Amino acid sequence: MELSRSWRVVGHLALLICCLAVAAPVAVVLATALKSPAEVFQPSLWPSAPTFDNFATLFGKARFADYLWNSAGTTVLRVGGQLVIALLAAWAFARFAFRGRDTVFALVLGAMMIPHLLTMIPVYILMARLGWFDTWAALIVPNLAMPFAVFLLRQHMRAFPRDLLDAAEMDGAGPWRALWKVVVPNLAPALAALTIILFVECWNEYFWPLLVTESEASRTLQMGLREFLESDGYSDFGAMMAGVTLASIPAVALFLILQRRVMDTFVASGLKG
């Protein structure tokens, strides 16, 4: 829809101001990260002699290599597991008619509306009983069942052309093979969008790792960042901004690669149903 000229001007102005408000802090972080220690406390937006010394500090003074490994490993395993488990559940809802389906689906949707903060104490106690503190399992297993992913995939599966499925099943493929050979390959855009969402959520997670990682070697990047902030006594802002940059790069990079596809799928899949 085309707005009138004056509204278009207002729109561009409002959006430009918002974009500036987003971009300014990002620019400050990048500039500070690339400055030499001597220059950090001068508020110029461009370092006179850009250097990666601050990044070297992270790996020299703190164990950022360990943190990166923990974050990457747990994120890949958890997102992979979430996708598989959600595909199976979504397929059950989309492909089969069975007694209690609507009730179970309502329970799954209901879980989407229960924030972690309401369930953390018993899950924490369970982790303690299992002896899972400081392990990847504690970061991965409690979050494997992902109601939002089930919901999103079910929406996309229901929109799947019936003829294709019938043709596949006529060729003798059961529901299991139809899922992996026909449905999944055709869900690529939705799976890409979902992967980004799950990746960002896991990579950026703060509260749960705060509870279940205690030893230095088990920390994720976000925990390492927090730890560095405190152990450093809030003084080396150059290295801290380098850490902020480093922690943000993977999610932003993944997003930039898949940007158009993710945005369009996300917008088109909508929140219907």
Partner 1 sequence: MTDAALASSPAGSSAGARLPLRLRLAGAAPWLYLAPTLAGLGLFVYWPLIHTAILSLSEWNLNPDQPARFVGLENYGRVAASTLFEHAWVNSLIYVGASIPLKVLAPIPLAVFVWSMGSRGHAYRAILFLPTLISFVAVAIAFLWILNPIFGYAKAWLAVVGVRLPALLTDADTAIWTIIAISGWKVIGFNMLLYLAGLASINRDLIEAMRIDGATDGTILRRLILPLLTPTIFFVLVSTVIFTIQQVFTPIDILTEGGPQNSTTNLFHMVYQYTFVTFDVGAGAAGTVMLFALLMAVTAAQILALDKRVEYGS
Give the footprint of partner 1 on residues 47-66 (CB under 8 A): none
Contact 79, 202 (CB under 8 A): yes
Using CB under 8 A as the binding criterion, the count of chain residues that bind partner 1 stands at 96
- The rounded distance, in Å, linking the Cα atoms of 54 and 34 is 7
Which amino acid appears at position 15 of this protein? Answer: L
Q: Binding partner 1 by CB under 8 A: which of 115, 163, 170, 185?
A: 115
SS3 string, 140-184, reads: HHHHCCCHHHHHHHHHHHHCCCHHHHHHHHHCCCCHHHHHHHHHH
By beta-carbon proximity to partner 1, the closer residue of 12 and 181 is: 12
What tokens does 153 get?
Answer: 């995939």
What separation in angstroms does the CA of 250 have from each of 50, 151, 261? 22, 26, 18
Question: Which one of 48, 61, 116, 164 is in contact with partner 1 (CB under 8 A)?
Answer: 116
| Shortest separation between residue 208's beta carbon and partner 1, angstroms | 11
With CB under 8 A as the contact rule, which of the stretches 48-56, 72-80, 187-195, 260-268 interacts with partner 1? 260-268
**Burial tier of 196 (Cβ tally within 10 Å: 0-12, 13-18, 19+):** buried
Closest CB to partner 1 among residues 96, 185: 96
Choose the stretch contacting partner 1; rule: CB under 8 A; options: 62-70, 132-140, 153-161, 198-206: 198-206
Residue selected from 72, 77, 104, 258 as contacting partner 1 according to rule CB under 8 A: 104
What residues from 133 to 192 belong to the interface with partner 1 (CB under 8 A)? Answer: 142-145, 147, 150, 174-175
Range list of H helices, 171-270: 175-177, 184-186, 188-203, 207-212, 221-231, 237-269
41 binds partner 1 (CB under 8 A): yes
Residue 239 near residue 32, CB atoms below 8 Å: no
> Out of 72, 77, 111, 173, which residue is the one contacting partner 1 (CB under 8 A)?
111
Out of 122, 162, 163, 233, which residue is the one contacting partner 1 (CB under 8 A)? Answer: 122
Q: CA nearest 194: which of 110, 113, 105, 261? A: 261
User: By CB under 8 A, which span of 48-56, 59-67, 107-115, 155-163 interacts with partner 1?
Assistant: 107-115
Q: In one letter, which amino acid is 37?
A: P
